[in-house]
Amino acid sequence: MILLLISTRKNNKRQRGFFMPIWRKLFFFVFLVPVFSNVAFPQQPTPKQSERIKKLENSLLAPCCYGEPVSRHMSEISFQMRHEIEDKVMAGESDRDILDYYKRLYGEQVLMEPEGTKRIVLYSMPIMISLLGLAIVFLFLRHALRHPLSRQETTTRIKVDARFTEAIRNATDES
């Protein structure tokens, strides 16, 4: 204890640490702590930003295989894209800007859903195929009801069908 008192008296300098002047403490807490706390503890996204991030991650395919969305894929590029998407959303970029950035970088195949006329064709094709199938069934039933088979045509068809089934049985028995 005596050596500590002697050494401070020899240097004749103010002690640092707990005994620093109040204005230095204020400067430290007002200016330096907020600056370094953002580096050490990055800002977390708000719930609305989190929803946007998830939506964007689900609307982009992983560019390594184009098989899964970025949100579920476990490749290095997917991890990088997730971090970039979060950074861009936190920076305030719009969803359109982010999607356009990745579309320029990897091409249109990176989008989960195509844009423009390709999207219209994609969503209209199942409806068109269903309508075509219904039209074919309708025309077949209409023709069948207007022109029923005569008794002779029916027995002829049965004989022909019996011959074909017998020929098929013979072929399978031989092999």
Q: Which CATH architecture has domain 47-109?
A: Orthogonal Bundle (1.10)
What is the tens place of the pLDDT at every residue in 30-48? 666 666 655 556 678 888 9
Can you tell me the distance from the alpha carbon of 101 to that of 78, in angstroms, rounded to the nearest whole number? 15
Residue at token pair 């013979």: 170
Cα dist. 99→4, 56, 60, 84 in Å?
65, 8, 8, 12
Residue 82: name the closest of 91, 95, 94, 69 by CA: 69
Q: Where in the chain is the domain with CATH 1.10.8.640?
A: 47-109
Amino acid at 174: E
Q: Mean pLDDT across the chain, nearest whole number?
A: 80
Angle ∠(18,22,27) on CA atoms, nearest 5: 100
Per-residue pLDDT of the chain (175 residues; tens, 9 = 90+): 344 444 444 454 555 555 566 767 667 666 666 666 555 566 788 889 999 999 999 999 999 888 899 999 999 999 999 999 999 999 999 999 999 999 999 999 999 888 878 888 888 999 999 999 999 999 988 888 887 766 666 666 666 777 778 888 888 877 6
The C-alpha atoms of residue 87 and residue 53 are separated, in whole angstroms, by: 10
Segment 90-116, tens digit of pLDDT? 999 999 999 999 999 999 999 988 887
What DSSP designation does 72 have? T
